[in-house]
Chain A
C-alpha cells in the first residue's frame, strides 16, 4: 500500500517569510503587521479574482433571465403601457458612475501606497469613503424614484411595465447594497492601524462595484427602450 511518498528533491514554493504567519480563526489574512499590500506573490490573488468573475457571470445570467422575461411578457399581453422613467434616475446614474471614478482613484492611490511610492494612506481612504457615500446616495435616489412612481399611482402590480421597473431596479439595488458591504469591509481594514488589506480583496471589490455601474447602464438601456 502506498503511503505518503516523499519525493527526493521536494521543492515546494515556500511562501515568503512574511506569509508563513497564519492569521487566527476564519478571518485570518496573510499580511502581517505593517507590511505592504501584496502585489506579487499574493497567494489569494488568483482565486479571489476567479471568484469575482464567476460571481459576475452568475449575476449576468440572472439579469439575462429577467430580460428575456421582459421581452416575452411584452408580447403576451395587450397591457403594455409606456412608463416614463422618473428623471431622478438619470441623476442616480451619474452618481453611480461617479462612484466608480472615485473608487478607481482610491484603488490606484492604494496601489501606489503599496509600492511605497506614496506614504499617504489617508487620501485613498477618503476617496473610498466618498465612494461609499455616493453608493448610498444612489440607493437613496432609487428609493426616491420609487416614491415618485408611487405618487403617480404606479405600484408593483399596476401594469407589467411598472412591475419590471420595480423588479429590475430593486434587484440591482440589492446587489449594490451587497457591494456597499464589500466596500465597508475594505474601509474597515484600511482604518485599522494594522494594515491588512490584500490587493486581491481591493481588486475584487472594485471589479464588483464597477460591474454594478455597467449593469445599471444596461438595465437603464433596457428600461429606456422597452418600458
Chain B
C-alpha cells in the first residue's frame, strides 16, 4: 500500500440541521455513539430478561409483579409459564450476542476510533456507514416487536434449531409469527453487519495516513480489522441460512424438515430436509461470531493495558499474529457445537483438533499479557482494572473450554450448565469487561468530560466479585450434570441443586443492581463531569492528539504524519515517558 496521504473518499461538509447532526449523520463518531447507545439499551433489556429468568428458576410459582402486563398469556397473574421462560431465554441470547457483543466492542468503538487511529477523516463510505447503523436499528425494532404479538417471542433459543424453529406454530407457543420475526430480524442484521465490515476493511486498507503502515496501527485497530474480515464471511453464511429457515416456515419448503413428523397431532407436510443442515450452517456462522465478540475486546484491553503499564507488550506483533491465527482457526471448529448431534462421530474427532489448537494462540496471548505486566509501571484506574479483570475472566472462561473441546468429555458436559458457564465467562463477562474498559478509557475523548474514577473503581470491584459469584458456580452445576434451558428444576437429581441456584440468583440481582452505578456515572459525567484534557491518560495513539471531543473533521483538514509505532512508552522524551505517534521527536536514549 502506498504511503501517500489520501483524503476521504467522499468528503462531506459539516452538517447544520439537528437531524443531520445527530440522527442521520454521516460522521463516524456520531454513528459510533449511536451504536453504543443501541448496545446500552439492548444490554439493559437483556439483563432484565436474565433477572426474570433467574427469579423464575428459583421461585417458579411466585408471581412477578407487573410481568402480566408484558405478556398476559406468558405470565398470567404474573406467574411465568414454562414457554415464556423459553421466550425470555431466546430473546436474552439474541439481544446479547447480536445487539450487544457484536455492536459495542466492534461497531461502536471501532466506528468511532478506527478512522482516527489511522489518521483518516472518516470511514471510506460514510453513507454506507449511516445505512449500517439504521439497518441494525431496524433489525432491533423487528426483534423487539416479537414481545408484543399475541403468541409471543420464539422459544427455540438464540440457536433456533430446526425442526422446532422450522415447522411453525405446531411446535409450540411463539413458533408462529414470533419465530418468523426473529428470522427476519437476524436477516436484516446480517445486511447491516456486512455493510459495516465492508467499510472497516476498505478504510483500514486504503485510508491510512502518511507513515501509518499496517505495522504501525494500534492493536485495537488490528483487532477491528481482523474482526471485520471474520464478520464478512460469517454473516454472509447466516443470511442464506435465515432465508432458507423463513422459506421452510412460510413457503412450505423442506430444507430442514424431514418426512413423517407428527407435531401437535398433525402429520407435517414436509419431507426430505435435514435438521443437521441448519446446525452446520448456523454454527459455521456461530463459532466465528463468538470470536467476533471477543477479538475487539482483546484489542481494546491490550491497548489500554500497554498505556497503563507504561511499556509496550513483550511483542505486539506476536499478539497480532495470534489474533489472525484465532480468526483463521475459528472457521474450522464449528462442529464442536455438534459433537453429540448425530453427525458422523469421526467428524467430531476431526473438529476437536483445531478446537484444541486454538488454545495455543490464546495461551500465547495470555502469557504475553502476563509477562508484560512483570517489571512494568502499572497505573491503576477504572479502565486498567477492567482490563486486568478481562485477563482473569479470559483465563477462567478459556480453561473450561479445554474440557468442552474434547468430544469424550463433552458426552457428559454437553447441554449442561458447564457450557453456559463457559460462554458466559468469555462472552458475558470478559467481552463486557472489554466494553467497560473501553468506556472508561475513551469516554473523556468522546464526550469531553471525565468519568468519576472512584465510582468506576467501585463498579469494577463489585462487578468483578459479583460475576465470579454468578458464573463460577455454573461450572460446578454442570459437573453435577445440571441440564440447561430448563425452566424449572423438578428432576430428582436437580432438586438438591436449587440452593446453589438461589445463591446465583442473589448474586445476579446484586451484580445487576451494581450496573446502575455505571449508568449513573455515564449519564452524570456526560453533563457534569470534569472537563477532559486532550490526553488524560498520556496515550500515544492518534485520537489523543486532538481535542476532547474531536472536531467534526477529526484532523482539521490536515493529514497527520506518523513517525512511530503506537507503543513508544518507557522512553525519555519531552512529553515524559512516552512519544505520540505523530511526534517527529525521537526517543532520547
Contacts and interface: CB of A to CB of B under 8 A. Distances in A.
Interface of A: 1-5, 7-8, 10-13, 15, 19, 22-30, 43-44, 46-48, 50-51, 54-55, 57-59, 61-62, 64-66, 68-69, 72-73, 76-80, 156-157, 160, 163, 167, 171
Given A5-B545, A57-B232, A65-B281, 9 more contacts: A1-B538, A5-B583, A22-B11, A23-B11, A50-B205, A58-B232, A69-B277, A73-B273, A77-B254
A172 B539 CA distance: 49
Contacts of B546: 4
B5 interface: yes
Contacts of B207: 47
B273 A47 contact: no
Nearest to B207: A47
Given A26-B26, A26-B126, A58-B233, A2 B277 contact: no
Given A7-B584, A160-B254, A54 B202 contact: yes
A51 B124 contact: yes
Contact of A77 (B235, B259, B580, B583): B259
B525 interface: no
Nearest to B257: A77
5 contacts: A13-B4, A13-B210, A47-B206, A54-B202, A55-B194
A167 B247 contact: yes
A79 B237 contact: no
A65 B240 contact: yes
Contacts of A1: 533-536, 538, 575
A61 B233 CA distance: 6
B124 A163 contact: no
Given A47-B207, A51-B125, A73-B274, A62 B13 contact: no
Contacts, number: 187
Given A28-B13, A47-B202, A48-B9, A2 B280 contact: no
Contacts of A157: 251-254
Given A77-B259, A156-B253, A59 B236 contact: yes
B388 to A, nearest CB: 25
Nearest to B198: A54
A11 B206 CA distance: 19
Contact of A54 (B4, B201, B284, B538): B201
B271 A77 contact: yes
Contacts of B10: 26-29, 44
A2 B535 CA distance: 7
A5 B206 contact: no
Given A1-B535, A5-B580, A59-B236, A25 B13 contact: yes
A72 B536 CA distance: 57
A93 B533 CA distance: 62
Interface in B537-589: 538, 544-546, 556, 558-559, 561, 563, 575, 580, 582-584
B7 interface: yes
A54 B225 CA distance: 13
Given A8-B584, A12-B561, A58-B232, A156 B273 contact: no
Given A2-B534, A65-B241, A76-B273, A12 B558 contact: yes
